[in-house]
Amino acid sequence: MKIKTAAKINLVLDVTGRLENGYHTIESVFQTVSLYDEVTVESAQEISISCELPEEFASADPIPCDERNIAYKAAKLFFEENNIQGGCSIHIKKGIPSQAGMGGGSTDAAAVLHCLNVITGLDLSISELSAMGKKLGADVPFFFTGGTAYVGGIGEEIASLSDYSGRHLVIAKGNQGVSTAEAYSRIDALEAPVHPKTHRLVRSVNVAPDEAYKYVGNLFEQALNLDEVEFLKAKLLAKGALSACMTGSGSAVFGIFRTRDAAEKCARSLRSSGYFAQACETVSQSFVNV
Protein backbone atom coordinates (compact mmCIF):
# COMPACT_ATOMS: atom_id res chain seq x y z
CA MET A 1 0.00 0.00 0.00
CA LYS A 2 1.32 3.43 -0.95
CA ILE A 3 -0.02 6.75 0.35
CA LYS A 4 1.05 10.36 0.60
CA THR A 5 0.93 11.71 4.14
CA ALA A 6 0.74 15.43 4.92
CA ALA A 7 2.87 17.75 7.01
CA LYS A 8 1.32 20.08 9.56
CA ILE A 9 1.88 23.63 10.61
CA ASN A 10 0.91 25.31 13.86
CA LEU A 11 -1.24 28.30 13.01
CA VAL A 12 -0.75 29.20 16.65
CA LEU A 13 1.33 27.54 19.38
CA ASP A 14 1.49 28.41 23.06
CA VAL A 15 3.08 26.59 26.00
CA THR A 16 0.83 26.96 29.03
CA GLY A 17 2.56 24.95 31.75
CA ARG A 18 4.85 22.14 32.80
CA LEU A 19 3.71 18.96 34.55
CA GLU A 20 5.54 17.12 37.32
CA ASN A 21 6.55 14.38 34.86
CA GLY A 22 8.40 16.96 32.74
CA TYR A 23 5.83 17.14 29.94
CA HIS A 24 4.64 20.58 28.85
CA THR A 25 1.02 21.53 28.26
CA ILE A 26 0.21 23.39 25.08
CA GLU A 27 -2.57 25.22 23.30
CA SER A 28 -2.33 25.13 19.55
CA VAL A 29 -4.14 24.98 16.25
CA PHE A 30 -2.76 22.26 13.97
CA GLN A 31 -3.33 22.42 10.23
CA THR A 32 -2.38 19.87 7.57
CA VAL A 33 -0.74 21.28 4.44
CA SER A 34 -0.05 19.91 0.95
CA LEU A 35 3.59 19.09 1.61
CA TYR A 36 3.88 15.31 1.67
CA ASP A 37 6.03 12.30 2.41
CA GLU A 38 5.25 9.23 0.32
CA VAL A 39 5.06 6.05 2.41
CA THR A 40 4.99 2.54 0.96
CA VAL A 41 4.27 -0.45 3.21
CA GLU A 42 4.51 -4.06 2.05
CA SER A 43 4.08 -7.33 3.95
CA ALA A 44 7.38 -9.09 4.76
CA GLN A 45 8.92 -11.56 7.21
CA GLU A 46 10.70 -8.85 9.22
CA ILE A 47 10.46 -5.09 9.69
CA SER A 48 12.80 -3.07 7.51
CA ILE A 49 12.89 0.58 6.51
CA SER A 50 14.49 2.58 3.73
CA CYS A 51 14.46 6.30 3.07
CA GLU A 52 14.77 8.38 -0.08
CA LEU A 53 15.83 11.97 0.50
CA PRO A 54 16.02 14.77 -2.04
CA GLU A 55 19.50 16.22 -2.34
CA GLU A 56 18.46 19.47 -0.66
CA PHE A 57 17.58 17.52 2.53
CA ALA A 58 20.48 15.09 2.65
CA SER A 59 23.18 17.30 4.12
CA ALA A 60 21.10 19.35 6.56
CA ASP A 61 18.63 16.77 7.83
CA PRO A 62 20.08 13.34 8.66
CA ILE A 63 17.26 10.83 9.13
CA PRO A 64 17.87 7.44 10.79
CA CYS A 65 16.74 4.65 8.48
CA ASP A 66 16.77 1.89 11.08
CA GLU A 67 14.96 0.89 14.28
CA ARG A 68 15.43 4.44 15.63
CA ASN A 69 12.99 5.81 13.02
CA ILE A 70 9.53 6.44 14.46
CA ALA A 71 7.94 4.75 11.42
CA TYR A 72 9.86 1.54 12.25
CA LYS A 73 8.71 1.87 15.86
CA ALA A 74 5.13 2.27 14.64
CA ALA A 75 5.27 -1.00 12.72
CA LYS A 76 6.84 -2.82 15.68
CA LEU A 77 4.15 -1.48 18.02
CA PHE A 78 1.34 -2.44 15.62
CA PHE A 79 2.47 -6.06 15.38
CA GLU A 80 3.09 -6.37 19.13
CA GLU A 81 -0.21 -4.77 20.17
CA ASN A 82 -2.21 -6.99 17.82
CA ASN A 83 -0.22 -10.21 18.41
CA ILE A 84 0.71 -10.51 14.74
CA GLN A 85 3.71 -12.56 13.65
CA GLY A 86 5.71 -11.24 10.73
CA GLY A 87 6.76 -7.82 9.57
CA CYS A 88 6.75 -5.32 6.74
CA SER A 89 9.07 -3.32 4.54
CA ILE A 90 8.64 0.45 4.76
CA HIS A 91 9.92 2.91 2.20
CA ILE A 92 9.69 6.65 2.87
CA LYS A 93 10.23 9.18 0.12
CA LYS A 94 10.75 12.43 1.99
CA GLY A 95 9.12 15.64 0.88
CA ILE A 96 8.83 17.14 4.39
CA PRO A 97 12.02 18.58 5.87
CA SER A 98 13.04 17.26 9.29
CA GLN A 99 13.77 19.41 12.36
CA ALA A 100 11.26 21.81 10.86
CA GLY A 101 8.36 21.69 13.33
CA MET A 102 6.14 20.13 10.66
CA GLY A 103 5.55 16.67 12.14
CA GLY A 104 7.40 14.76 9.42
CA GLY A 105 8.19 11.80 11.66
CA SER A 106 4.77 11.78 13.32
CA THR A 107 2.88 11.79 10.03
CA ASP A 108 5.04 8.91 8.76
CA ALA A 109 4.26 6.90 11.90
CA ALA A 110 0.53 7.55 11.50
CA ALA A 111 0.75 6.53 7.83
CA VAL A 112 2.43 3.23 8.71
CA LEU A 113 -0.26 2.42 11.30
CA HIS A 114 -2.98 3.34 8.80
CA CYS A 115 -1.47 1.18 6.04
CA LEU A 116 -0.95 -1.82 8.32
CA ASN A 117 -4.52 -1.51 9.53
CA VAL A 118 -5.70 -1.81 5.92
CA ILE A 119 -3.19 -4.48 4.84
CA THR A 120 -3.96 -6.78 7.78
CA GLY A 121 -7.72 -6.24 7.50
CA LEU A 122 -8.01 -5.54 11.24
CA ASP A 123 -10.23 -2.52 10.60
CA LEU A 124 -9.27 -0.77 13.83
CA SER A 125 -11.13 2.47 14.56
CA ILE A 126 -9.49 5.89 14.48
CA SER A 127 -9.70 6.01 18.29
CA GLU A 128 -7.88 2.67 18.52
CA LEU A 129 -5.20 3.80 16.08
CA SER A 130 -4.89 7.10 17.95
CA ALA A 131 -4.34 5.26 21.24
CA MET A 132 -1.49 3.39 19.59
CA GLY A 133 -0.12 6.54 18.01
CA LYS A 134 -0.08 8.37 21.33
CA LYS A 135 2.47 5.83 22.61
CA LEU A 136 4.80 6.89 19.80
CA GLY A 137 4.49 10.66 20.11
CA ALA A 138 2.08 13.40 21.13
CA ASP A 139 1.54 14.66 17.55
CA VAL A 140 0.79 11.26 15.96
CA PRO A 141 -2.97 10.99 16.78
CA PHE A 142 -3.76 14.26 14.99
CA PHE A 143 -2.71 12.84 11.63
CA PHE A 144 -5.42 10.16 11.59
CA THR A 145 -7.91 12.93 10.88
CA GLY A 146 -5.80 15.94 9.86
CA GLY A 147 -7.50 19.12 8.75
CA THR A 148 -7.84 21.96 11.24
CA ALA A 149 -7.91 21.18 14.96
CA TYR A 150 -7.47 22.77 18.36
CA VAL A 151 -4.89 20.76 20.29
CA GLY A 152 -4.48 21.04 24.05
CA GLY A 153 -3.04 19.24 27.07
CA ILE A 154 0.15 17.42 26.10
CA GLY A 155 -1.33 16.87 22.64
CA GLU A 156 -4.04 14.40 23.57
CA GLU A 157 -6.92 16.90 23.47
CA ILE A 158 -7.94 17.22 19.82
CA ALA A 159 -11.06 19.07 18.71
CA SER A 160 -11.88 19.67 15.04
CA LEU A 161 -12.44 23.25 13.92
CA SER A 162 -14.10 24.66 10.82
CA ASP A 163 -12.43 23.70 7.55
CA TYR A 164 -9.55 26.08 6.81
CA SER A 165 -8.40 24.32 3.64
CA GLY A 166 -7.52 26.08 0.40
CA ARG A 167 -5.39 28.85 1.95
CA HIS A 168 -2.22 29.65 0.00
CA LEU A 169 1.09 29.25 1.80
CA VAL A 170 4.82 29.30 1.37
CA ILE A 171 6.83 27.01 3.63
CA ALA A 172 10.49 28.05 3.95
CA LYS A 173 13.42 26.66 5.90
CA GLY A 174 17.11 27.36 6.19
CA ASN A 175 19.83 25.12 7.59
CA GLN A 176 19.25 25.81 11.26
CA GLY A 177 17.58 22.98 13.15
CA VAL A 178 16.45 22.84 16.75
CA SER A 179 15.96 19.79 18.93
CA THR A 180 12.58 19.67 20.66
CA ALA A 181 14.23 19.15 24.05
CA GLU A 182 16.40 22.23 23.65
CA ALA A 183 13.43 24.28 22.47
CA TYR A 184 11.37 23.43 25.56
CA SER A 185 14.27 24.11 27.90
CA ARG A 186 14.48 27.60 26.43
CA ILE A 187 10.73 28.03 26.90
CA ASP A 188 11.20 27.23 30.60
CA ALA A 189 13.86 29.95 30.82
CA LEU A 190 11.64 32.70 29.37
CA GLU A 191 10.84 35.61 31.68
CA ALA A 192 7.49 37.40 31.20
CA PRO A 193 6.70 35.79 27.83
CA VAL A 194 4.11 37.38 25.55
CA HIS A 195 1.62 34.62 24.78
CA PRO A 196 -0.04 34.34 21.34
CA LYS A 197 -3.79 34.88 20.99
CA THR A 198 -4.80 31.23 20.66
CA HIS A 199 -8.49 31.62 21.40
CA ARG A 200 -8.86 34.60 19.06
CA LEU A 201 -7.41 32.47 16.27
CA VAL A 202 -9.75 29.57 17.12
CA ARG A 203 -12.76 31.88 17.03
CA SER A 204 -11.62 33.49 13.79
CA VAL A 205 -11.10 30.15 12.03
CA ASN A 206 -14.66 29.20 13.01
CA VAL A 207 -16.51 32.44 12.26
CA ALA A 208 -14.25 34.78 10.23
CA PRO A 209 -11.61 32.66 8.49
CA ASP A 210 -10.43 35.43 6.18
CA GLU A 211 -9.25 37.31 9.28
CA ALA A 212 -7.49 34.37 10.95
CA TYR A 213 -4.07 35.34 9.60
CA LYS A 214 -4.05 38.28 12.04
CA TYR A 215 -3.73 35.95 15.03
CA VAL A 216 -1.02 33.49 14.01
CA GLY A 217 1.75 33.28 16.61
CA ASN A 218 4.28 30.98 18.24
CA LEU A 219 5.81 31.31 21.72
CA PHE A 220 8.89 29.39 20.56
CA GLU A 221 9.93 32.33 18.40
CA GLN A 222 10.62 34.32 21.59
CA ALA A 223 12.40 31.42 23.26
CA LEU A 224 14.69 30.52 20.34
CA ASN A 225 15.25 33.91 18.70
CA LEU A 226 16.75 32.35 15.55
CA ASP A 227 18.26 34.83 13.09
CA GLU A 228 17.30 32.65 10.13
CA VAL A 229 13.66 32.54 11.23
CA GLU A 230 13.51 36.33 11.52
CA PHE A 231 15.17 36.70 8.12
CA LEU A 232 12.70 34.34 6.44
CA LYS A 233 9.71 35.99 8.10
CA ALA A 234 10.90 39.38 6.83
CA LYS A 235 11.36 37.99 3.31
CA LEU A 236 7.89 36.43 3.26
CA LEU A 237 6.27 39.64 4.43
CA ALA A 238 8.26 41.69 1.91
CA LYS A 239 6.98 39.39 -0.85
CA GLY A 240 3.36 39.99 0.10
CA ALA A 241 2.54 37.51 2.86
CA LEU A 242 -0.41 38.58 5.01
CA SER A 243 1.40 37.14 8.01
CA ALA A 244 4.41 34.91 8.69
CA CYS A 245 5.25 32.67 11.61
CA MET A 246 7.54 29.84 12.70
CA THR A 247 5.86 26.46 13.05
CA GLY A 248 6.27 23.98 15.90
CA SER A 249 9.50 24.22 17.83
CA GLY A 250 11.26 25.24 14.61
CA SER A 251 12.73 25.95 12.34
CA ALA A 252 10.45 26.15 9.28
CA VAL A 253 8.47 29.33 8.68
CA PHE A 254 5.17 29.72 6.84
CA GLY A 255 3.62 32.71 5.18
CA ILE A 256 -0.07 33.06 4.30
CA PHE A 257 -0.78 34.61 0.88
CA ARG A 258 -3.93 35.81 -0.85
CA THR A 259 -3.17 34.08 -4.16
CA ARG A 260 -1.33 31.00 -5.41
CA ASP A 261 0.54 33.16 -7.93
CA ALA A 262 1.96 35.40 -5.20
CA ALA A 263 2.99 32.33 -3.18
CA GLU A 264 4.71 30.73 -6.19
CA LYS A 265 6.67 33.91 -6.94
CA CYS A 266 7.83 34.16 -3.34
CA ALA A 267 8.89 30.50 -3.22
CA ARG A 268 10.92 30.87 -6.44
CA SER A 269 12.68 33.93 -5.03
CA LEU A 270 13.63 32.14 -1.80
CA ARG A 271 14.83 29.03 -3.66
CA SER A 272 17.06 31.21 -5.83
CA SER A 273 18.68 32.44 -2.60
CA GLY A 274 19.43 28.87 -1.53
CA TYR A 275 16.55 28.20 0.86
CA PHE A 276 14.10 25.32 0.89
CA ALA A 277 10.84 26.98 -0.13
CA GLN A 278 7.64 25.52 -1.48
CA ALA A 279 4.22 26.93 -2.27
CA CYS A 280 1.41 24.76 -0.95
CA GLU A 281 -2.10 24.93 0.50
CA THR A 282 -3.90 24.06 3.69
CA VAL A 283 -5.71 20.72 3.22
CA SER A 284 -8.56 18.94 4.99
CA GLN A 285 -6.97 15.51 5.52
CA SER A 286 -3.62 13.82 6.04
CA PHE A 287 -3.69 10.76 3.80
CA VAL A 288 -3.93 10.74 0.02
CA ASN A 289 -4.00 7.42 -1.86
CA VAL A 290 -1.37 7.09 -4.60
Q: For residue 9, which of 218, 152, 185 has the smallest C-alpha distance? A: 218
pLDDT tens-digit map of 70-107? 999 999 999 999 999 999 999 999 999 988 899 999 99
pLDDT digits (tens, 9 = 90+) for 5-61: 999 999 999 999 999 988 899 999 999 999 999 999 999 999 999 999 888 776 555
CB atoms within 10 A of CB 60: 15
Q: CA 129 to CA 117: how far, in whole Å?
A: 8
- The catalytic site residues sit at 8, 139
The reported pTM is 0.96
Mean pLDDT (the chain) is 94
pLDDT tens per residue across span 144-196: 999 999 999 988 899 999 999 999 999 999 887 777 888 899 999 999 999 99
Mean pLDDT, residues 214-219: 98
Q: Which residues contact 78 (CB under 8 A, 6 or more apart)?
A: 84, 112, 113, 116, 117, 132
What's the pLDDT score for residue 59?
A: 59
Alpha-carbon gap, residue 92 to 192, rounded angstroms = 42
